[in-house]
Amino acid sequence: MGARLVLLGPPGAGKGTLAAWLSQQYGFTPMSTGELFRQQIRRRTALGRTVSEYVTSGRLVPDALVVKVMTSQLTRPLLQRGFVLDGFPRTTAQAEGLERFLVSRKAPLTGAIVLTSPVRVLLRRLSGRRVCGRCGAIYHVRNMPPKRSGICDRCQSPLIIRKDDQADTIRERLRINRAQAKPLVAYYRRRGLLHPLRADGSSQAMFDRAARLLKAHGWAAPRPARRARG
């Protein structure tokens, strides 16, 4: 049975990057709250219509509804194969709902990995984003720079720094995230499920630490490398 993991951590820590790597290396299914919400809304399911009503009115989606949307995707084959949750749970109420569901399926959570990184590193990562004011293309000054500095590759328009990507705004986002995350981190610590993972440095360094963590706990073995066809 594959590992059933929750990824926690502030914006810019690399949760999405780590989830994709865990999927590639171990076969765990990555699950993002935002993506699942968008799928439900696009498909116009009953859950999707309800979620859309909250989103379009600017209201927070209730914890019970978030749990219902997420657990509706956790089929028995997926529980067996293993999954990585990114962006869920966000509150202790959601964590409790997830726990009740998994226990009822005799597939309890394997662990909650919390990514840690100095604020200066998070600021550098998040403040490097640039956006085209015309076509909306997204770049990063270090990780995905445009061919010409400050100019969009697609439409040759100037790139801008959105307010959300300015240093003061980022610091406030990180402060709010830290305060909101404390109860959830404490919840998983009390249950002996919390596992800190340093996310500073390169992505490869984070992957190496994650591999050692999984190996130490016997959570999974990497997929065997595919043989090239001769």
Q: Could you list the active site residues?
A: 15, 90, 129, 162, 173
Q: Residue holding tokens 């009953």?
A: 46
Terminal Cα-to-Cα distance of the chain (whole angstroms)? 33
Identify which of 228, 198, 230 has the alpha carbon closest to the alpha carbon of residue 212: 198
Question: Is 99 strand, coil or helix?
Answer: helix
Q: Please, where are the H alpha helices in 72-166?
A: 76-81, 92-104, 119-127
Rounded to whole angstroms, the Cα distance separating 145 from 162 reads: 16
Rounded to whole angstroms, the Cα distance separating 149 from 121 reads: 22
65 touches 52 (CB < 8 A): no
Identify which of 38, 177, 28, 36 has the alpha carbon closest to the alpha carbon of residue 109: 28
The conformation of residue 222, written as its DSSP 8-state character, comes to: P
101 touches 71 (CB < 8 A): yes
Identify which of 117, 90, 128, 82 has the alpha carbon closest to the alpha carbon of residue 203: 117
The conformation of residue 192, written as its DSSP 8-state character, comes to: T
